[in-house]
Amino acid sequence: MHMIVTNKKGLSQAWVSAVRNDQYERAGDYSVTQLISPAQLQILLERHRDKVVMDVQEGLWILLGKSVHYILEQSHTRGALTEHTLLFNIGNFQVSGTPDRLERIDDPEEKAAMSFLRSISPDRDWPERVRQYHLRDFKITSIYAIKEGPKDDWVRQTNCYGFMLRQQGIAVTRLSIETLLKDWRMSEYMKERNGRGYPDAQAQVLDVPVWNDAKCYEYLEQRVNLFESSKMLPDDKLPRCSHEERWAKPDRFAAVYHSKGTTVAARGGGNFDSQMDAEAFIAGYTGKKQLHVEFRPGESVRCEGYCPVKHWCRQYREEICGDEF
């Protein structure tokens, strides 16, 4: 069952076919990418996929992500495994996962130390080295997404893959995310490099904390149980998406002034958690501008801009749009 793809900008049919041509077929009962996503969203998508309308331009970034994955998959290198689908049973259900790339970790220091020890004491039964592996996942994303390190979803996803590989006897001891930041600009970096932690390059490698196997199993089991119990429920009784799952931004307050018909935040005064903090900033302000507090309402970024099933979502109607839906 496919979504309905529209072409509002009149792009060539090549784009439309490429976006429509989704070759992905899930192996097993659940995929890891499905399980890390909100249960409500995934179940509504299963039920209403053939009615979901997506314009072709919304699918272009997904297409870019797929093409980068495809190119990297083709670049075979020794000692690496790419895009291999794994299966693991959680109770009666089969979970699949396809990590982007698995590489052997070559530790030259350890290698040198072992040959030194063997050379000075060849009769001793030195243990064989345990081969260790590094799992890498590739993400085409934005600077905002990596502001606080790897996203929680990526941590969960790579840990599930690492766990599934360890169940096959492959000792995955390192996980990382390699990002291509599509909105990175050299000019912005030059402007901000002394200040606000703007990334120093378009590509970044983010190390992911490695969970132990018990934590990975518990996470997968809890997600499968949630999906299984939710599948019995009607649309309007599905478990609600959390704050984190909705990519919700909280309400903010800013100390602003008017200039040439627009509102501008004072330097250092654009982002406060509370009205009181913004007022305290204004009280201590020594500049010449006439400042006042502006309320900036929070938003559920995923619901508003990225959720394909919001039209069938009761939570969206009730909590996010109110009467405007």
Quick check: 302 binds ligand SF4 (CB under 6 A)?
yes
Q: In this complex, which beta carbon is closest to ligand SF4, that of residue 229 or of residue 290?
A: 229
Quick check: 39 binds ligand SF4 (CB under 6 A)?
no
Quick check: 307 binds ligand SF4 (CB under 6 A)?
yes
Query: How do beta strands 80-82 and 101-105 pair?
Result: antiparallel
Q: Which residues, in sequence order, are CB contacts of 5 under 8 Å at separation 6+? A: 16, 19, 20, 53, 54, 55, 56, 59
Q: In this complex, which beta carbon is closest to ligand SF4, that of residue 50 or of residue 200?
A: 50
Burial (CB count within 10 angstroms: exposed 0-12, middle 13-18, buried 19+), residue 270 = middle
Which one-letter amino acid corresponds to residue 116? F
From 28, 177, 246, 255, residue interacting with ligand SF4 (rule: CB under 6 A): 246
Rounded Cα distance between 167 and 199, Å, is 36
Q: In this complex, which beta carbon is closest to ligand SF4, that of residue 256 or of residue 313?
A: 313
Quick check: 181 binds ligand SF4 (CB under 6 A)?
no
305: its two tokens: 């801009």
Binding mask 43-62 for ligand SF4 (x = CB under 6 A): -x------------------
For Cα atoms 36, 39, 41, give the angle at the middle one, nearest 5 degrees. Answer: 100
Contact 221, 88 (CB under 8 A): no
Please, what is the end-to-end C-alpha distance for the chain in angstroms?
Answer: 27
From 163, 211, 257, 316, residue interacting with ligand SF4 (rule: CB under 6 A): 316
Q: In this complex, which beta carbon is closest to ligand SF4, that of residue 30 or of residue 257?
A: 30
From 28, 38, 99, 269, residue interacting with ligand SF4 (rule: CB under 6 A): 38
Quick check: 37 binds ligand SF4 (CB under 6 A)?
no
Q: In this complex, which beta carbon is closest to ligand SF4, that of residue 200 or of residue 324?
A: 324
Quick check: 101 binds ligand SF4 (CB under 6 A)?
no
Contact 8, 58 (CB under 8 A): no
- Positions in the binding site for ligand SF4 (CB under 6 A): 38, 40-41, 44, 241, 246, 300, 302-303, 307, 309-310, 313, 315-316
